[in-house]
Structure formats: C-alpha cells, structure tokens
Copies of this chain bind each other. A is one copy, B any other.
Amino acid sequence: MRFAERMKRMKGREMLNMMELADRKDLISFAGGFPSPETYPMEEIKASFFRVLNEDPDGALSYSSTRGYVKLRELIARRMERNYGLDVTESDIIVTNGSQQALDLTGLLFIDKGDVVLFESPSYLGALNALKSYEPDMIAVPTDEDGICIDALKDTLEKYGQRVKLIYVIPDFQNPTGRCWSEARRRAFMELVQQYEVAVLEDAAYSELNFSGRKETPLVSMDKANQVVYCGTFSKVFCPGIRIGWIYTNPRWIDAYLLLKNNVDLSSAAITQRQMADYLLHNDLDAHIAEIIETYRARKDAMAEAFAREMPEGVSWNSPHGGLFFWVCLPEGYDAGELLKLALKENVAFVPGQGFYPNGERKHEFRMNFSNLRPEEIQEGVKRLGRVVRIFLGRAD
C-alpha cells in the first residue's frame, strides 16, 4: 500500500519526541512549549464546566456550529477590539482546535504542490511540519533581533514572484528564539508585502505573554490589502487541554476556512467552547494573564541567572521579554543534537535547533523552555546542563 508523496517529507519526529519526553518523571525537561499547570485557574475552570453543563446540557453536548459557538466568538471579538483597537465582529472569527489547526487549515486553503512558502529562519517546528503536508517549497528568510529582514524578504519575493503564496511569521516572542519584532520592522514588513499577491499567516500564540508592559502592534491591524490571517489561542494564557484557538481574517477567506473546517472535523467541541465562553463572561482573563506573567517573569529571570552562572565561555543566549523560550547558541561546529544525547543521560532535556530551520541548515543552537518548571528546578536543570556543555565543549575541569 502506497502512502501519498507528502509522507516522504515527514521524517522529523522532534515534536512527537518532545511530547513523549513529558512523561519521563526523573527528567528535568526544558523541551516542551507548555504553559505551567500551576497557572491554570482551576477553580474558575471547574465552576465554568459545572455552569455550562447545568444551564444548557443539550447545547454543550451536541454538535457546535462549524464556525464555532457564537457567544465565544463574540467574546473573542470584543477582546481583540479592546486589546488592539480593531473593528472585529463575531462573523470575522472561526474557532479552531488550538492555533495548530489554524496553521493546517491555512496550508489547505492556500498551498498547491510546488508553491513557495516563506518562513522566518528559524521558525516554529509545528508550523513547518503542518505546512509541509501541502508540499510547498519552504524558503527561509534571514531574521535578526528586530524580526524578518526586509531587504532579504524583498529579494526573495522578487526571486520567486507569483510562486510565493504564503509568508508565515510569529512577530511576538517567537518560537523558538523568543524574539519580538520592532514596531518599525512591522510597518516595513506590511508596506512591502502589500505590494505582492501573497497571504500572511500571523501566529500570535505568544502575544499575550508580554513581560514588557508595552503592547505590540499586530500585523493584522495594518492589513490594508486584506492579506493577513491572524491566529490566536487560549493554550498559553489559559490552558491547552481544551484546545481552543481562533482565526480572524477577512470575510471572503473566513467563508473558505469554514468549508475546510467542516471537512476536517465538522466543528470544535461544543462543551469546551462553552466552558471558555463562560469563563470569559464570569472572570477577568486579563487580570489572570497579569498574574501568570509575574510567575513566568520570575522563571525567565531564574533561567537567565542560571545561564550566567553555569554556562562556559563561547555559549550565548538571548534574554526574551515575553513568550516561553530562550535560544542558546553553542560555538560553531558543535551539534546540539549530539549534546542532547549526553544531556538525556544526565536527565536534562531541550530541543535541538536544527529542526526549526526550514532547511535544517544550523546545528549549533537549541531551545530552552522556562515556563513549565519552578525556579529551583530551572536552577538544578541548568546546572546539570552546564556540566554537560562543559564536557561536550572539552572544557570540563
């Protein structure tokens, strides 16, 4: 029996391995991209489930509409209006199973085999994997501390012309690097892409985990040519186990997404959509987010301090002001995949950076998550890792 051609490209099991590592109890794992269960507003979540099941059990347990529970879409629209000054109505939104499903549906909507998709370099592994299904050529665009490089992007758009269908970007506290695009870069990006017939997929998964207090401007708020698809999620700021994300874009595209959402799973679960809507109605999610930001900031600080203390010379890292990740750079020529083998023996894990590059071009970097461990676990884990790195670089005492 022959699989489809696309299956030949699907060799990377990094994401699956990562999800399996989560089960090893002895391990200090910096590998996941998971929020911390300690931050879930447990009592409020329970109360919402109870209310929803008592007030309208038929509605909660039957099929939802394909577009998603209307009250949830209204509440999402209102939050986007409040947070970003956008003019959003419920009909501009489709509910998805986390933002991962939004990435997959976007591939389904736009990509034919042989089309070109542009990515930041590096970019989110799960997006690379999802879009790969539709068999595009994946082209990496150089990215610096301020975001995607505009000159390089322009050259790439010119080079591939009409073949470029989609640009996938994570402007806020990017996965894996933690980088946040500058305001100037955002404006320059939108000015450039408006000159091309290309869709922009703006992944806002980390936008609300902002430690700086300064609101970043989403690309979709500068979308004069109706070319941006914004995808959001409650996974990182609320909890991931209910799988609720959303797509916000122009009405014509929403219509097309609706057909595809119906094809792939009819609708998202009614019960979890209603629970989320009930929570938003009865609680202040923004106040909750302010609290978890303090928790995560302390963990980020703990990691930065531990790095400074434990890492030998030649190793560098960023210090993010949001999101869930540090990005660590070994000296050139060293392979973080090899380092991981040693690290696992010492019961500490991370994700090697190579998989985050569309073409696997750089091996000496790795990603460290700081959200899902307590400060003392972070210190212990980085201590173990520092020891392994020193041995790996031949700098052990």
**Residues of A in contact with B (beta carbons under 8 Å apart):** 1-7, 10, 13, 15-16, 19-20, 22-23, 34, 37, 40, 42, 45-46, 49-50, 53-54, 57-66, 96-98, 100-101, 104, 108-113, 115, 126, 129-130, 132-134, 165, 197-199, 226-227, 239-243, 256, 258-260, 262-272
- Contact B243 A4, beta carbon cutoff 8 Å: no
A60: chain B residues at CB < 8 Å are 241
A16 to B98, CA, bound (A): 22
- Contact A130 B98, beta carbon cutoff 8 Å: no
Q: Kindly provide the distance from the CB of A253 to the nearest chain B CB, expressed in whole angstroms.
A: 8
- Contact B7 A241, beta carbon cutoff 8 Å: no
Closest to A272 in B: B269
A199 to B7, CA, bound (A): 15
- Contact A100 B3, beta carbon cutoff 8 Å: no
- Contact A265 B243, beta carbon cutoff 8 Å: yes
A111: chain B residues at CB < 8 Å are 4
A4 to B115, CA, bound (A): 9
A265: chain B residues at CB < 8 Å are 96-98, 100-101, 104, 243
Q: Kindly provide the distance from the CB of A24 to the nearest chain B CB, expressed in whole angstroms.
A: 13
A110: chain B residues at CB < 8 Å are 1-4
- Contact A53 B61, beta carbon cutoff 8 Å: no
Closest to A62 in B: B241
A46: chain B residues at CB < 8 Å are 50, 53-54, 57
A239 to B60, CA, bound (A): 10
Known: A10-B260, A104-B263. 5 other contacts (CB 8 A): A7-B256, A19-B262, A113-B113, A130-B263, A269-B272
Q: Kindly provide the distance from the CB of A168 to the nearest chain B CB, expressed in whole angstroms.
A: 14
A263 to B108, CA, bound (A): 12
A240: chain B residues at CB < 8 Å are 61-63
Jot down 29 A-B pairs with beta carbons below 8 A, ordered by A: A2-B165, A4-B111, A10-B260, A10-B263, A15-B266, A22-B63, A34-B62, A34-B63, A37-B61, A37-B62, A40-B57, A46-B57, A49-B50, A50-B50, A60-B241, A61-B239, A62-B240, A64-B241, A97-B269, A101-B265, A104-B265, A126-B263, A126-B266, A129-B259, A129-B263, A130-B263, A133-B263, A241-B269, A241-B271
Which of these, B7, B243, B260, contacts A268 with CB under 8 Å? Answer: B243
- Contact A197 B2, beta carbon cutoff 8 Å: yes
A59: chain B residues at CB < 8 Å are 241
Closest to A275 in B: B271
A34 to B267, CA, bound (A): 13
A109/B15 contact (C-beta < 8 A), A239-B62, A241-B271 known: no
Which of these, B65, B165, B266, B270, contacts A20 with CB under 8 Å? Answer: B65
A129: chain B residues at CB < 8 Å are 259, 262-263
Q: Kindly provide the distance from the CB of A32 to the nearest chain B CB, expressed in whole angstroms.
A: 8
Which of these, B7, B13, B268, contacts A109 with CB under 8 Å? Answer: B7
Closest to A264 in B: B104
Closest to A131 in B: B263
A243 to B20, CA, bound (A): 23
- Contact B269 A197, beta carbon cutoff 8 Å: no
Which of these, B3, B16, B65, B199, contacts A19 with CB under 8 Å? Answer: B65
Q: Kindly provide the distance from the CB of A248 to the nearest chain B CB, expressed in whole angstroms.
A: 16
- Contact A259 B13, beta carbon cutoff 8 Å: yes
A270: chain B residues at CB < 8 Å are 241
- Contact A16 B264, beta carbon cutoff 8 Å: no
